[in-house]
């Protein structure tokens, strides 16, 4: 049920800021990966995000052709939307395994790595995992 304009209690007050911190607790990362185990797409995006530190919009911009032949140690170079600069990242085996796992499930029929621009794991679920 949508809230009337300006009435959403979860929205920050005007002029305030929200500080976002990376997930540093390895146990929390393991718990999140267990929850995402039956969602290979979301697991791939999460794993890439924590291993490359790319922003969500950058992860969603990958094309299959950019990632289908990558191996551990290869460099993935992506132009960041926020800074408009290229930032190379050397992929580790975990990131490559996540990409390959997702490609095995979905195939190569689409040019985009992610079929939609929505991460299906609710943020409240992730917040509750992190607080455990």
pLDDT in tens, 94-130: 999 988 888 888 766 666 666 554 444 554 455 555 5
Largest CA distance in the chain: 50
Q: How far is it, in rounded angstroms, from Cα 89 to Cα 73?
A: 9
Helix then strand count (H, E) for the chain reads 6, 2
Which sequence spans correspond to the domains of the chain?
Answer: 26-130
Q: How confident is the model at residue 64 (pLDDT cuts 50, 70, 90)?
A: confident
Terminal C-alpha separation, the chain: 28
CATH architecture for residues 26-130: Orthogonal Bundle (1.10)
Whole-number mean pLDDT of the chain?
A: 79
Residues 44 and 100 sit within 8 Å (Cβ to Cβ):
no
Report CA dihedral (3, 60, 119, 98) to the nearest 10 degrees.
-170
For tokens 């009435």, the residue is 7
3-state DSSP call for residue 87?
strand
CB 55 within 8 A of CB 82: yes
Contact 109, 35 (CB under 8 A): no
Q: Which of 17-21, 47-51, 81-85, 92-96 has the lowest mean pLDDT?
A: 17-21
* Whether pTM exceeds 0.85: no
| pLDDT at residue 91, rounded to an integer | 92
């Amino acid at each position: 049920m949508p809230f009337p304009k300006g009435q959403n209690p979860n929205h920050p007050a005007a002029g305030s800021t929200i500080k976002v911190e990376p997930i540093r607790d390895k146990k929390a990362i393991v718990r999140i990966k267990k929850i995402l185990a039956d969602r290979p797409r979301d697991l791939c995006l999460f794993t890439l995000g924590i291993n490359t530190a790319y922003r969500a919009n950058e992860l969603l911009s990958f094309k299959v052709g950019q990632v289908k032949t990558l191996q551990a140690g290869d460099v993935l170079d992506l132009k960041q939307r926020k800074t408009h600069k290229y930032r190379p990242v050397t992929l580790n085996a975990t990131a490559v395994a996540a990409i390959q796992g997702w490609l095995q499930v979905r195939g190569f029929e689409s040019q985009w790595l992610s079929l939609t621009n929505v991460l299906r794991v609710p943020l409240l679920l992730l917040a509750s995992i992190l607080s455990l």
